[in-house]
A = this chain, B = another copy of it.
C-alpha cells in the first residue's frame, strides 16, 4: 500500500512537471517575441519598422525581447545592397534584431544573395515565417 501511495505521488508529480513545463514554455514564448512585417516598397515604412524595433528594445531592454524583421514582396528592397536604410539595418543586427529576407520574393525578382546586404538571414517564404512565429506565441506588428 505504501508503494502504491508512492507510485501515485510520483505520477502526480510527473503530471505536474509535464503540465507546468508546457505552461512555462507557452508563457515564455508569449513573453518574448515580436515579428515585424515589411511588405511595402516605401523607405518611410522601413525607417518606421527600425524605429519600432529600437523603441521596443529601449523600452523593455534588448535582453527581454526577441525581434525579427521579415521583408517580403515589395518590401524586399529594404534589404538590397543599395537600400537607403543599409547602415541602420547593420546597427539593428548588431543590437540583436534578426533581419530576414524572403527567398520566394528574391527568386521572383531575380535577386541573389550577392544583391543583398550582409548580416541578414534568409527563409524560403517570408509569409510562412510570419505565421510560424505567431503560432509560437510571438506578437505581430505591421508598421
Once the chains bind, are A74 and B56 in contact (CB under 8 Å)?
A: no
List the interface of chain A (C-beta within 8 A of B).
Answer: 1-2, 4-5, 8-9, 11-12, 15-16, 19-20, 22-23, 30-31, 34, 37, 39, 44, 48, 51-52, 55-56, 58-60, 65, 73-74, 104, 124-125, 127-128, 130-131, 134-135, 137, 139-143
- In the complex, what residue of chain B is closest to A140 when comparing beta carbons? B140
With A48-B73, A140-B140: A128-B15 Cβ-Cβ less than 8 Å: no
Whether A55 contacts B16 in the complex (CB less than 8 A), given A8-B8, A8-B9, A23-B22, comes out as no
Majority-rule SS of A interface residues: helix
Contact for A5 among B1, B56, B135, CB less than 8 A: B1
Asked if B135 contacts A130 (CB within 8 A), the reply is no
Chain B residues within 8 Å of A73, by CB: 48, 51-52, 143
